[in-house]
Amino acid sequence: MSKFIITGGKRLSGEIEVMGAKNAALKILAASILSDKKMIVTNVPNIEEINRLLELMEAIGTEVHREGSTLTLQTKEIATTELDPTLVSKIRASVLLVGPLLIRSGEVRMPHPGGCAIGQRPIDLFIEGYKKLGAEIKEDNDGYTFKCKKFKGMTYIFPKISVTVTEALMMAATMAEGTTVLKNAACEPEIQVLAEYLNRVGAKIEGAGTNTIKIEGVKELTADTYEVIPDRIEAGSFAILGALIGDDIKIVNCRPDHLESLWAMFDRMGIDYQLGKDWVQVFGGVKIKAVDVQTHEYPGFVTDLQQPFTVLLTQADGMSLVHETIFEGRLFYTDMLKMMGANIIMCDPHRVIVNGPTKLYGRRLTSPDLRAGFAMVLAGLVAEGTTEIDNIYQIDRGYSQIEKRLQKLGAEIKRVVD
């Protein structure tokens, strides 16, 4: 087991590069199975979550070739329609394979998927959506069996906005008979770029990026080259790092236009920053004001930045309310910030009050999940003394070689293998 050891309190400066977006790459890799043609995907982050999905795809017959951040994928034939239970238990995005596999082979067997421990994470909307597209689904103790000869167009009104369900149904509907309309759909940038790619290879999708998406089914799709967009969560996390302990940090290879709600917060807090087309520069060292934040679907404040942002609020002047509306288990990591000296009161599982600024002190911590894990890293860099974080597999799931990139900014962080 590896852990991070961080000596906090050092001010950072320099340039840090953003990798390709995990949550865009996962979907595009799954979409490659819609066709038997060769697809080339560039700017793919080398992270555990992607590697697990690739293992799952290789098991079902995808040929995968990796050269740096470029992947070549081709699924000439489906070798098995049974998804590996061990791999599925590690990655929730497995459920994205169901649509493409049903299109290719008419049957899929999938155990209940895993993923970050941030709430119950049910898959009821996937099930409902695939059923509306015409799939027959049986559930038993070990998982689900899906059967469907040909998806049929339908109208689905989301009872709750869901990113991955929007993507999964959009993908499945590309080759359905007739037209599918998804209403109250999610609008995240990752959905827009997935639709752009699918249209390029022959799909007929309109409205992705708005809450109504119309998909006219086509007979077949081909494949093409796709460049994964920069990860907006990484970019936002690094900007928060800059506001916390940066003198002058420039975040490059990013899309600031995907993070408008974060910049609006920075404005309210009095943080000094500059935006370019593909870069952001943050000048720390200024006194920052407390602000209330409520997570929301895009373009609202993204739930994946709530954890680093809460660390920032521990250093802001005044009282802030953090309201996590998307997941029911995504604030428990604040106990660890309290152990470090933060003044945080949990009102209920969805809301905490943060009183700042407070000095933080190095502690031994465990990374509970991906984003909270990065929040622990941030807190460790701010804190006085040494912080030890274990279970860093959780951080590696989404941030590639994070310690090396932070070291370039002057951070004292090292990976220790026990």
Binding site per annotation, positions: 22-23, 92, 121-125, 304, 326
Q: Is 371 in the site for ligand EPU (CB under 6 A)?
A: yes
Dihedral of the CA atoms 398, 404, 407, 411 (nearest 10)? 30
Does 327 help bind ligand EPU (rule: CB under 6 A)?
yes
Six-digit token pair at 190?
């990752």
Q: Does residue number 376 form part of the binding site for ligand EPU (CB under 6 A)?
A: no
Closest to ligand EPU by CB, 273 or 301: 301
26 belongs to the binding site for ligand EPU (CB under 6 A): yes
The residue type found at 89 is S
Q: CB nearer to ligand EPU: give 281 or 394.
A: 394
Tokens of 250: 């420039």
Please give the structure tokens belonging to residue 336: 């660890």
Q: C-beta of 393: minimal distance to ligand EPU in Å? A: 14
List residues forming the annotated binding site for phosphoenolpyruvate.
22-23
Q: Binding string, 53-72, against ligand EPU, x = CB under 6 A?
A: --------------------
According to the binding rule CB under 6 A, does residue 367 interact with ligand EPU?
Answer: no
Q: Which of residues 245-284 bind ligand EPU (CB under 6 A)?
A: none
Exposed, middle or buried by CB within 10 Å (0-12, 13-18, 19+), for 50? buried
- Contacts of residue 140, defined as CB under 8 A and 6 or more positions apart, other chains included, come to none
Q: State the minimum distance, in angstroms, from the CB of residue 22 to ligand EPU.
A: 6
User: Is position 326 an interface residue for ligand EPU (rule: CB under 6 A)?
Assistant: yes
Which of residues 65, 138, 160, 183 is near ligand EPU by CB under 6 A?
A: 160
Residue (160 or 287) nearer to ligand EPU, CB: 160
Size of the site for ligand EPU (CB under 6 A): 25
- C-alpha separations of 326 from 290, 304, 376 in Å: 22, 10, 21
Nearest-angstrom CA–CA distance, 235 and 251: 7
The CA-CA-CA angle for residues 110, 113, 115, to 5°, reads 155
- Determine if 48 is a binding residue for ligand EPU (CB under 6 A): no
One residue of 124, 139, 177, 335 binding ligand EPU per CB under 6 A: 124
Residue 301 CB, shortest distance to ligand EPU, in Å, is 11
What letters, b where the CB count within 10 A reaches 16 and e where it falls short, cover 112-132? bbbbbebeeeebebbbbbbeb
**Residue 304 in contact with ligand EPU, rule: CB under 6 A:** yes
* Residue 342 binds ligand EPU, judged by CB under 6 A: no
- Least distance between ligand EPU and beta carbon 278 (Å): 21
Under the criterion CB under 6 A, does residue 157 sit at the interface with ligand EPU? no
Based on the residue annotation, tell me whether 254 is a catalytic residue of this protein.
no
DSSP for residue 416: E
- Binding site residue list for UDP-N-acetyl-alpha-D-glucosamine: 92, 121-125, 304, 326
Of 11-19, 119-127, 170-178, 383-391, the window that binds ligand EPU (rule: CB under 6 A) is 119-127
Render 320-373 in DSSP notation, one character per residue: EEEE--S-TTSSTTHHHHHHTT-EEEEEETTEEEEEE----B--EEE--SHHHH
Query: Judged by CB under 6 A, does residue 123 bind ligand EPU?
Result: yes
Catalytic residue among 116, 148, 187, 254: 116
Q: How many CB atoms lie within 10 A of CB 286?
A: 11
Q: How far apart are CA 75 and CA 105, in angstroms?
A: 12
Nearer to ligand EPU, 322 or 383 (CB): 322
Q: Smallest distance, Å, CB 115 to ligand EPU?
A: 7
Nearer to ligand EPU, 304 or 403 (CB): 304
User: In whole angstroms, what is the distance from residue 299 CA to residue 417 CA?
Assistant: 39
Nearer to ligand EPU (CB atom), residue 124 or residue 220: 124
Check residue 139 for interaction with ligand EPU (CB under 6 A): no
Asked if residue 100 lies in contact with residue 126, where contact means CB atoms within 8 angstroms, the answer is no
Full strand arrangement of the beta sheet holding 272-275 = 12-17, 246-252, 279-283, 272-275
**Shortest distance, position 187 Cβ to ligand EPU, whole Å:** 11
35 binding ligand EPU? (CB under 6 A): no
Residue 61 to residue 148: CA distance in whole angstroms: 20
Cα gap 247→327, rounded to integer Å: 34
Q: Are 195 and 216 in contact (CB under 8 A)?
A: no
Footprint of ligand EPU on this chain (CB under 6 A)?
A: 22-23, 26, 92-93, 116, 119, 121-126, 160, 162-165, 303-304, 326-327, 370-371, 398
Residues marked as catalytic: 116
